[in-house]
Structure 1
Amino acid sequence: MARLGAVRPTAEIVAARLKRRHNAERRFRAVGLGAVLLALGFLGILLFTIVGNGITAFVQTYVRIDVTFDSALLGIEGDTGPDALAAANYQAIIKQSLYRTFPEAKTRAEQRQLGAMVSSGADIDLRKMLTADPSLLGQTRSLWLLADDDIDMAVKGHIPRQQGIAGNRLSDNELRWLSELESRGAVETRFNTLLWSSGDSREPELAGLWGAVVGSIFSLVITLLVSFPLGVATSVYLEEFAPKNRWTDLIEVNINNLAAVPSVVFGLLGLAVFLNILGMPRSAPLVGGLVLALICLPTIIIAARAAMKAVPPSIREAAAGLGASKLQVVTDHVLPLSMPGILTGTILGMAHALGETAPLLMIGMVAFIVDIPATPLDPAAVLPVQVYLWADSPERAFVERTSAAIMVLLLFLALMNLSAILLRKKFERRW
């Protein structure tokens, strides 16, 4: 009986300790789950804000106006050649058409407000129309013209349409004219083709992403062409051929350290070497690609070495036993088997490079570029820099454009990461 009484307290102590341990484990799980849910909540808020602000950038507001191609107003009487049509004053016929639509606008201030309802770039479409068909001279056509950014924001509901409310940039006259056009069915939103076909602009309704997209493509192609062969060759040498001594240990340590160096340091290096010493063109994707290649190199080297280490030594030994040289072992067996891991690391490094902004600012890719780059030597912007430029603009419409650019950038990053996952799943080998 004494022994049974002595055992009971021990069992109770063990049970109490197990209970505390299980409670601690449940608390730890709850804290971990709470952290994950909190992170997902913040991510959801971020994505909801970006999509909510930027989804309307993919449509644009147009207004329908009866436009008369008056030779006198165009300033081309007696001359209908291509040069005269290209240099004609199309803003004059747009304003005259607006004045006829709303004849109550008598004063200069009212007429200035009326003319501001249509984008300053609306004359581009008229110029293209008349240049393609000079027979339109003297005719009146009902045309859909690009609306000004403030009108566009009001139609989309991003700014209030009541006078006196904070954030309303439209006058009473503009609000009345807009309502009248809407009652006539002369206001509609269409898919924003300018966003995908034009470069940057001071006017939000004319600003597009295509220049930055082309600049990003040029930069990433150059980054891939430079970093991939150099990174793979370096990793092959260090992993398969280099002797193990202090020098190779020093090189390996420095490569690992370069992966943690702030990207702005690489931008300073590119500024000093590529621009100041070699005299390469400023703001060009060529220089941007070279700088991004420096950023990608450590990532590619580390990933490639890890992939080659994963190849079993038995494969090397079997190939050598059949008479293959060291180079043949590497090129015919080790590299093909490790290529999925190398490609995965390369894609992740490229995705990292796509989102970099600081090093590109250092080499001058922050310039205002309107034209679409035709070659890697032409001045260009890239998507992260375009986001930076538009985020610094005060107009409400540029907030919309900024969010749209972020959505496009996130889409590119998601596609690159998805391709890396698919490559790893498709070609992954388990030894």
Structure 2
Amino acid sequence: MIKKKNKNKNNPFYDPTLTKRHRSSKRFKTFTLASLVFSIAFLVFFLFDIIGKGTPAFEQAYVNVEVTYNEASKKSYRKAIDKKYTRIVSRAWLRTVPMLIEENPELMGKTIKTWVLADDQVDQYLKGHYFKLKRKDRALIDEMKAYGDAELKFNTIFFTNGDSKTPEFAGLNSAIIGSILTLIITMLVAFPIGVMTAVYLEEFADDNKFTQTIEVNINNLAAIPSILFGLLGLAIFINLFGLPRSSPLVGGLTLALMTLPIIIVSSRAALRAVPDSIRQAGYGLGLTKIEVTRDHVLPLAFPGILTGSIIGLAQAMGETAPLIIIGMIAFIPDAPGSIMEAATVMPAQLFTWAGMPERMYIEKTAAGIMVLLTILISLNALAIYLRKKYEVKW
């Protein structure tokens, strides 16, 4: 048999390693595709797990019982309802009976059948979760459910109440308001300082050792652990300046220190993306450097600056470690009325709930994560929208 001659070897451009490189390229593509699939699968699993655990928290168990408003119930809330219901009704709600009588004197001497908040174990029982109820209490709940006197309703408490020692009465209201106040302080401090620093370094500063040292330090600050900013905030704002601990003012200033490098780096990148022809055209018209930067360069770079700032704000909103150091993980049942009052934030609140022994806190933690993720995704979507809307095509 005549063996065929390999024509490729006679080709002066033949590369004997070509087949091996093609195989290597295919393996690399396979690995990258597998990594992408694994990442998407993990994300889908995480989202389904959080949604599955958190969705039940948006419903709360209520029971329809007779409540007596008189002097006895005003002195002792346990006497406001029949004794057999005391184990299935929330103690936190019963404690509000004397306050209800003071706020509504017309209730005195009346017995009204009304929907009241149920105990957390009743809530878990009606949802089919793990519970700790005595047999007679389960029989009572089953009987009430059959007559329509026990059911699940939308959990408004989750959004209107602050933290509580009783899980059925705990909500995110104080944490949400604390997060809003803290982020307002963060942006009021970090945004103008970060943008002005970026404009100075990119447009006005000379290329010398001083500016090079500043640039190196800014890049290093963007990479250090966030907990170190908490130690810095504790040392400067609380110990040195004597600002109130756990306040949104201290939390906002601490997060501003952490967000500054992100805003500076993203703002410089946006300024650097503006073509030099814009600057040269302004100089050709006789404009000064300040006028060119203020009226031409900065407006064109503003979409990128805004995008980086919003992403930095979203990252700051999810931070917990620096706020733990300055005390914003304390038990705060009431929403702060000012930036000087004690407050907590959503990530710290969720961290506290995750360590609670009651199982009802599991679904509340997952529901809080859903709310936090919704806010973060909304902020990132807003950043993308603003970038696309104001983006200039060169």
Interval of TM-score (by shorter of Structure 1 and Structure 2)? over 0.9
Indicate if the aligned counterparts of 1:65 and 1:143 stay in contact, CA closer than 8 A: yes
Separation in structure 2 between the aligned mates of residue 222 and residue 206 of structure 1, nearest angstrom: 30
Aligned position for 1:74: 73
Q: Does 1:404 align with 2:333?
A: no
SS in structure 1 of the partner of residue 60 of structure 2: strand
CA drift at 1:186? 0.7
Indicate if the aligned counterparts of 2:310 and 2:383 stay in contact, CA closer than 8 A: yes
Alignment of 1:37-48 (within 5 A): 37-48=37-48
1:141 to 104, 107, 112: 112
With structure 1 as the length reference, what TM-score do the two structures score?
Answer: 0.86
Q: Does 1:52 align with 2:39?
A: no
SS in structure 1 of the partner of residue 115 of structure 2: strand
Cα deviation digits, residues 313-369 of structure 1 (max 9, x gap): 111111122121111111111110100000011011111111111110111111111
Q: Does 1:341 align with 2:304?
A: yes
SS in structure 1 of the partner of residue 202 of structure 2: helix
SS in structure 2 of the partner of residue 234 of structure 1: helix
Alignment of 1:15-34 (within 5 A): 20-34=20-34
With structure 2 as the length reference, what TM-score do the two structures score?
Answer: 0.94
Q: Does 1:313 align with 2:313?
A: no
Q: Does 1:90 align with 2:77?
A: yes
Separation in structure 2 between the aligned mates of residue 8 and residue 359 of structure 1, nearest angstrom: 64
Amino acid at match of 1:90: Y
Aligned position for 1:284: 247
Q: Which deviates the most, 121-130 or 238-247?
A: 121-130
CA drift at 1:252? 0.6
Indicate if the aligned counterparts of 2:80 and 2:97 stay in contact, CA closer than 8 A: no
SS in structure 1 of the partner of residue 92 of structure 2: coil
Separation in structure 2 between the aligned mates of residue 68 and residue 244 of structure 1, nearest angstrom: 79
Q: CA RMSD in A?
A: 2.1
Report the structure number with the largest CA radius of gyration: 1
Judged with a 3 Å threshold, the aligned counterparts in structure 2 of structure 1 residues 9 and 429 are, in CA distance, closer, same or farther, namely same
Aligned position for 2:229: 266
CA drift at 1:89? 3.1
Separation in structure 2 between the aligned mates of residue 8 and residue 31 of structure 1, nearest angstrom: 30
SS in structure 1 of the partner of residue 91 of structure 2: coil
Aligned position for 1:118: 89
Alignment of 1:157-172 (within 5 A): 157-159=128-130, 168-172=131-135
Report how many aligned residue pairs link the two structures: 391
CA drift at 1:181? 1.4
Aligned position for 1:424: 387
Amino acid at match of 2:111: T
CA drift at 1:54? 0.9
Indicate if the aligned counterparts of 2:78 and 2:86 stay in contact, CA closer than 8 A: no
CA drift at 1:30? 2.3
Indicate if the aligned counterparts of 1:280 and 1:287 stay in contact, CA closer than 8 A: yes
2:202 to 226, 230, 239: 239
SS in structure 2 of the partner of residue 122 of structure 1: helix
CA drift at 1:9? 5.5
Aligned position for 1:84: none
Separation in structure 2 between the aligned mates of residue 205 and residue 8 of structure 1, nearest angstrom: 77
Indicate if the aligned counterparts of 1:65 and 1:142 stay in contact, CA closer than 8 A: yes
Judged with a 3 Å threshold, the aligned counterparts in structure 2 of structure 1 residues 255 and 15 are, in CA distance, closer, same or farther, namely closer
Amino acid at match of 1:363: I
Separation in structure 2 between the aligned mates of residue 391 and residue 141 of structure 1, nearest angstrom: 38
Aligned position for 1:366: 329
SS in structure 2 of the partner of residue 347 of structure 1: helix
Indicate if the aligned counterparts of 1:65 and 1:98 stay in contact, CA closer than 8 A: no
Separation in structure 1 between the aligned mates of residue 93 and residue 278 of structure 2, nearest angstrom: 67
Indicate if the aligned counterparts of 2:266 and 2:308 stay in contact, CA closer than 8 A: yes
Cα deviation digits, residues 87-142 of structure 1 (max 9, x gap): x4333212xx244xxxxxxxxxxxxxx52211012236645654454333333211
CA drift at 1:212? 0.4
Separation in structure 2 between the aligned mates of residue 285 and residue 138 of structure 1, nearest angstrom: 44
Uncovered stretches (5+) of structure 2, i.e. residues with no partner: none
Q: Does 1:197 align with 2:168?
A: no
Cα deviation digits, residues 288-311 of structure 1 (max 9, x gap): 000000001001001111111111
CA drift at 1:25? 3.2
Separation in structure 2 between the aligned mates of residue 7 and residue 60 of structure 1, nearest angstrom: 78
Indicate if the aligned counterparts of 1:288 and 1:360 stay in contact, CA closer than 8 A: yes
Separation in structure 2 between the aligned mates of residue 190 and residue 206 of structure 1, nearest angstrom: 14
Amino acid at match of 1:186: D
Separation in structure 1 between the aligned mates of residue 382 and residue 211 of structure 2, nearest angstrom: 33
Amino acid at match of 2:293: V
SS in structure 1 of the partner of residue 371 of structure 2: helix
Judged with a 3 Å threshold, the aligned counterparts in structure 2 of structure 1 residues 47 and 254 are, in CA distance, closer, same or farther, namely same
Judged with a 3 Å threshold, the aligned counterparts in structure 2 of structure 1 residues 180 and 310 are, in CA distance, closer, same or farther, namely same
Separation in structure 2 between the aligned mates of residue 136 and residue 283 of structure 1, nearest angstrom: 40
